[in-house]
Amino acid sequence: MKTYLVTGGAGFIGSNFIIFMLNKYDDVKIINVDALTYAGNLENLKSVENNPNYSFIQADITDNEAIAKIFDENDIDYVVNFAAESHVDRSISNPDIFVKTNVLGTVNLLNNAKKAWQIGDDCYKPGVKFHHVSTDEVYGSLGPEGYFTETTPLDPHSPYSSSKASSDLLVKAYHDTYKLPMNITRCSNNYGPFQFPEKLIPLIMNNTLLHKDLPVYGDGMQIRDWLYVDDHCKAIDMVIRDGVDGEVYNVGGHNERTNIFIVKTIIEYIKENVDSQVGEHMIKHVTDRKGHDRRYGIDPQKIKDTLGWYPETPFEVGIKKTLKWYLENSEWVKNVTSGKYQKYYETMYKDKKEV
Ligand code: NAD
Ligand code: TYD
C-alpha cells in the first residue's frame, strides 16, 4: 500500500487524478489536502468520498504547522503537488497570491517532505518521491515552427507561468542540493470534466448555453495544445512509478488548435444538440490578454520513448465527451458559478472592450 499526499485534489486535474487512481488501484491510499479556494470543490470527489482509501484534509500548502502535522501523522510515500493558483487572467490582476501559493507553498511542501523523508546526509527513505505538476507555459511562447522539449530554456511571461517556473526551479534545487527524490511533469492545456468555468472551454460552453457573449481575446488565432485530462493523469501515474529520479517529462499530444477553432467547435456542438438559436454571431473579439502567449506546442518524445506513454483520447472524441459531461452536469456548473465565485465572474470581463 502506497500513500499519496495529493495537494489541490479538489481542483480540476487533481480531482480527476484522485478518481483515476482510486478506480485503477486497490492498493493506494490518497490523502487530499486542499485549501478549497474558489477553484476547489469537494463535489468533484463525490464518487470516491466513501472509499476507505480516500481522505480529505482542508489545509493551505503555505501553512507550515498544518503540513508538518500531516507528515507527522501519516507515513507518506509520494507528494503529488497540484495545488496552485492556475488562471493566467487572475495572475495579471492579482499576482501576489500566485507567488504565495505557487512558490512559497511549494517550498513549504519541499521542506516538510525533506524533513519527514531524510534518514541521513543526502539519504532518504526508500521509494519516496516529490512529484511536481507543472505546465508548458514555463517555456514561454513559440513561433509558428518547433516544439517545447525538456531542454527548452524557461522563458515565462505571465505572473502565473513565472510563479510555476520558480516552483519548478525550487523543486530542482532541492534535488540538486539535498538529493530529494523528485520528478516534474510539464503538461499542455487540459480539458475534461470538473474544469472551472473561467477557463476557455467550460466558459464558452456555459456562456453559449446562457446566450451570453463569447469573449475571444484579440484575433483568436493563438494556439494551445489540448490534452484530455485522463491522459495527463495517466502520465503522472507512470512518471511517479517509473520516472527516473530528477528528470523532467513533457506531456502533450500534438493536438494544436486555435482558440477560434475551439470556440466554433463548441457553438456547433450546442447548435446541433441543444439549441438551434446559438451561432457564431455570439462571438465577441475583445481586448487581448496582456502579454498573451501566441503558441504552445509540446514535444512528448521523451515520455513516449522512455515510459511508453501516449495520449489515448483523440481530440474529436474527448471534446464531445467533455461537452456532454457539462450538459449532463449543469447543477455542478450552477453550484461552482454561484457564491464566492459569482462576484468575480460578473466583474471579470468589465475591462474587456469589444474590438
Ligand atoms: P485548479 O485551479 O482547478 O485547482 C487548483 C486547486 O488547488 C484547487 O482545488 C484549489 O482549492 C487548490 N489550492 C489553491 N491554493 C491552495 C493552497 N494555498 N493550499 C492548498 N490548496 C490550494 O487548477 P488545475 O487546472 O487543476 O491545475 C492543477 C495543477 O496543474 C496546477 O499546478 C497547474 O499549474 C497545473 N497545470 C494545469 C493545466 C491546465 O490546463 N489546467 C495544464 C498544465 C499544468
Ligand atoms: P485559458 O483557458 O485561460 O488557458 P491558458 O491561458 O492557461 O492557456 O485560455 C486558453 C486560451 O483561450 C488563451 O489563449 C486565452 C484564450 N481565452 C479567450 O480567448 N477567451 C476567454 O474568455 C478565455 C478564458 C481564454
Element (H or E) spanning 191, and its range?
strand 190-191
343: pLDDT strictly greater than 90: no
Q: Average pLDDT, stretch 322-338?
A: 91
- How much distance in Å is there from the Cα of 113 to the middle of ligand 2? 34
Contacts 24+ apart (CB under 8 A), 266-272: 266/201, 266/204, 266/205, 266/208, 266/323, 267/204, 267/208, 267/214, 269/319, 269/320, 269/323, 270/205, 270/208, 270/209, 270/323
Cβ-based neighbours of 265, under 8 Å, separated by 6 or more: 319
- What percentage of the chain carries pLDDT values higher than 70? 96
Q: Average pLDDT, stretch 43-69?
A: 97
Reported as a single tens digit per residue, the pLDDT across 254-300 is: 999 999 999 999 999 999 999 999 999 999 999 999 999 999 999 99
| Average confidence score pLDDT of the chain | 95
Q: Is 323 left (phi over 0), alpha (psi -120 to 50) or beta?
A: alpha
Instruction: Read off φ and ψ for residue 278, nearest 5 degrees.
Output: -75, 160
State the closest ligand 2 atom to the C-alpha of 137, by its place in the atom list counted from 1. Answer: 7
Q: Average pLDDT, stretch 57-71?
A: 98
342: pLDDT strictly greater than 50: no
347: pLDDT strictly greater than 70: no
- How much distance in Å is there from the Cα of 133 to the middle of ligand 1? 9
Instruction: Read off φ and ψ for residue 111, nearest 5 degrees.
Output: -60, -45
What's the distance, CA 2 to chain centroid?
23
313 close to 193: Cβ distance less than 8 angstroms: no
Proximal ligand: closest to the CA of 204: 2
State the closest ligand 2 atom to the C-alpha of 293, by its place in the atom list counted from 1. Answer: 14
| Residue 339, pLDDT score | 60
Closest CA to ligand 2's atom 21? 200
The residues annotated as belonging to the active site are: 136-137, 160
State the closest ligand 2 atom to the C-alpha of 135, by its place in the atom list counted from 1. Answer: 7
Alpha helices in the chain (DSSP H): 12-24, 64-73, 88-93, 96-98, 106-117, 159-178, 200-209, 229-242, 259-273, 301-307, 315-328, 330-336, 340-347
Three-class secondary structure of residue 190 per DSSP: strand
- How much distance in Å is there from the Cα of 84 to the middle of ligand 1? 4
| Residue 337, pLDDT score | 81
In whole angstroms, what is the distance from residue 126 CA to residue 5 CA? 17
- How much distance in Å is there from the Cα of 123 to the middle of ligand 1? 30
| Residue 348, pLDDT score | 52
State the closest ligand 2 atom to the C-alpha of 88, by its place in the atom list counted from 1. Answer: 6
Q: Pocket of ligand 1, candidates 81, 86, 162, 183: which has the most ligand atoms within 8 Å of its Cβ, to mutate?
A: 86
341: pLDDT strictly greater than 80: no
How far, CA to CA in Å, does 139 sit from each of 64, 116, 176, 236, 278?
A: 30, 32, 21, 19, 37
Q: Pocket of ligand 2, candidates 138, 188, 200, 217: which has the most ligand atoms within 8 Å of its Cβ, to mutate?
A: 200
Reported as a single tens digit per residue, the pLDDT across 108-123 is: 999 999 999 999 999 9
| Residue 354, pLDDT score | 74
Q: Average pLDDT, stretch 342-353?
A: 54
In whole angstroms, what is the distance from residue 321 CA to residue 138 CA? 29
| Residue 48, pLDDT score | 96
